[in-house]
Amino acid sequence: MILSSYKRIHRRYLMKKATIKDVSDLSGYSISTVSRVLNGNYPVKKQTKETILEAINKLHFTRNSVARNLRTNKTNIIGLVVADINNPYYSKIAKALDDGLFKRNYSLLVCNTDESEQKECKILETLIDKGVDFIIISPVSKNAELLRTIKNNGINVIIIDRNIGVSDFPFVGSDDFKEAKKLTEYLITRGHSKIAFITGTQKATTSQERLFGFRAALVENHLTFSNESLIEGLYKEEMAYENITKFLKRNQHNIQPYTAIFSSNNLMTLGLIKAAKELSISIPNDLSIVSFGQIELQDIIQPNVTCIKQNIDSMVELIFKNIDQLADDPTATISNDFIANSFLLGNSVKKIK
């Protein structure tokens, strides 16, 4: 009992933090003058300013942002909602974003959906609660309604990566259809006609668009598209690894085996490479592969995977274009920005026939 009481007192002692009132008392000026010095938005006599700054230093005072946020209805926090911050694709975006945000005096709250719609929903609610100024989201689901609620709460929303196909929100991402088609056409020009496709999560538009692009390339080249060529990967390495292993085992007994596989994201490409390696299937000799999204250490890994490399720098640049615009005027015109990606030629595709 005594101990617990002691702790409580000690705790309170620790919690003691100087407030603007303390600065006001010590310096002899009113809190508004202190506030003006803090914000530098109104003229203050040089002498006064110095006295106040002295008091601030003496008390180790730093402003309580929470109180400030309550007044100004701004938090200078931006929520980034992605599938998994451990995916290098997203961690690169996070890093590049943070660099620019630091300069703009914003902080980044990172949230992982793990591709779960339910988790995404809870995250968004938390972000509304927290009063973040912006939400930058690569959405799991096409829940435009929830995003509209957010917008009505005065939070700016920027959709990245996965377009949800509505016009209320700015979007920055790839032209998945076009790029996937291009990548497939490359396989076809190299003589491949039986091509399998590793799919992402059903919900994600990127996944659908990439599949459509793939199919379009086949159809245009008078090749048949069949659902049997689809391998479910859910955008996850582990899932892809398992299903690809099964697929490749089956494929070895096919009369007309698949000669190439299109992986629709970076993580699943890793699962693909591992599966092939374990089954002693040589890339590109026994199997050709392409990837939508670059894998890490591209230049060290064998095979060097031919892929679409998403241009993260220009992506982040466009995100900032939107941020700066919306910070200035939340009603600014909404635009869909497609980034220019690169086609990276590796050695993972064999020319056949």
Partner DNA sequence: GTGAAAGCGCTAACAT
Partner DNA sequence: ATGTTAGCGCTTTCAC
Q: Is position 129 an interface residue for a copy of itself (rule: CB under 8 A)?
A: yes
How do beta strands 230-232 and 171-173 pair?
A: unpaired
In whole angstroms, the minimum distance from the beta carbon of 101 to DNA comes to: 20
Burial class (CB in 10 A: 0-12, 13-18, 19+), 21: exposed
| Contacting range for DNA; rule: CB under 7 A; set: 42-50, 92-100, 169-177, 187-195 | 42-50
Residues of this chain, 56-115, that bind DNA according to CB under 7 A: 63-64, 67-68, 70-73
Nearer to a copy of itself, 223 or 332 (CB): 332
Which residue in the set 6, 7, 42, 126 belongs to the binding site for DNA (CB under 7 A)? 42
Which residue in the set 95, 249, 250, 351 belongs to the binding site for a copy of itself (CB under 8 A)? 95
In whole angstroms, the minimum distance from the beta carbon of 290 to DNA comes to: 51
The HSE-up count of residue 263 (CA atoms within 13 Å, CB side) is 33
Instruction: Report the distance separating Cα 96 and Cα 93, nearest Å.
Output: 5
Residues of this chain, 107-126, that bind a copy of itself according to CB under 8 A: 107-112, 119, 122-123, 125-126
**Hey, how many other C-beta atoms are within 10 angstroms of the C-beta on 147?**
21
Q: Is position 149 an interface residue for DNA (rule: CB under 7 A)?
A: no
Return phi, psi of residue 306, to 5°. Answer: -65, 125
19 binds, among a copy of itself, DNA, none (CB under 5 to 8 A by kind): DNA
In whole angstroms, the minimum distance from the beta carbon of 2 to DNA comes to: 21
> Which residue type occupies 326?
L
Q: Is position 44 an interface residue for a copy of itself (rule: CB under 8 A)?
A: no
Residues of this chain, 151-180, that bind a copy of itself according to CB under 8 A: 151-154
Instruction: Report the distance separating Cα 194 and Cα 247, nearest Å.
Output: 13
The HSE-up count of residue 324 (CA atoms within 13 Å, CB side) is 11
Q: Is position 288 an interface residue for DNA (rule: CB under 7 A)?
A: no
Q: Taking each helix axis from N to C terminus, what angle separates 88-103 and 312-328, rounded to the nearest 10 degrees? A: 40
Which residue in the set 7, 32, 282, 347 belongs to the binding site for DNA (CB under 7 A)? 32
Q: Is position 104 an interface residue for a copy of itself (rule: CB under 8 A)?
A: no
Sign of CA dihedral 15, 19, 25, 27: positive
In whole angstroms, the minimum distance from the beta carbon of 229 to a copy of itself comes to: 25
Instruction: Report the distance separating Cα 87 and Cα 267, nearest Å.
Output: 7
Instruction: Report the distance separating Cα 326 and Cα 316, nearest Å.
Output: 15
User: Is-contact 264 236, C-beta < 8 A?
Assistant: no
> Which residue type occupies 244?
I
Buried residues in 44-71 as b, exposed as e (16+ CB within 10 A): beeebbebbbebbeebebebeeeebbee
Q: Is position 191 an interface residue for a copy of itself (rule: CB under 8 A)?
A: no
Nearer to DNA, 44 or 166 (CB): 44
Q: Is position 277 an interface residue for a copy of itself (rule: CB under 8 A)?
A: yes
- Of 279, 201, 211, give the one whose Cα is nearest residue 233: 201
- Of 281, 139, 88, 86, give the one whose Cα is nearest residue 196: 281
Q: Is position 30 an interface residue for DNA (rule: CB under 7 A)?
A: yes
Q: Is position 202 an interface residue for DNA (rule: CB under 7 A)?
A: no
Map tokens 């920055």 to a residue: 172
Residues near DNA (CB under 7 A): 17, 19-21, 28-33, 35-36, 38-39, 41-45, 47-49, 63-64, 67-68, 70-73
Would you tell me which residues interact with a copy of itself (CB under 8 A)? 7, 10-11, 14-17, 60, 62-67, 69-70, 73, 75, 77, 84-86, 88, 91-92, 94-95, 98-99, 102, 105, 107-112, 119, 122-123, 125-126, 128-131, 149, 151-154, 270, 273-274, 277, 295-297, 299-302, 329-331
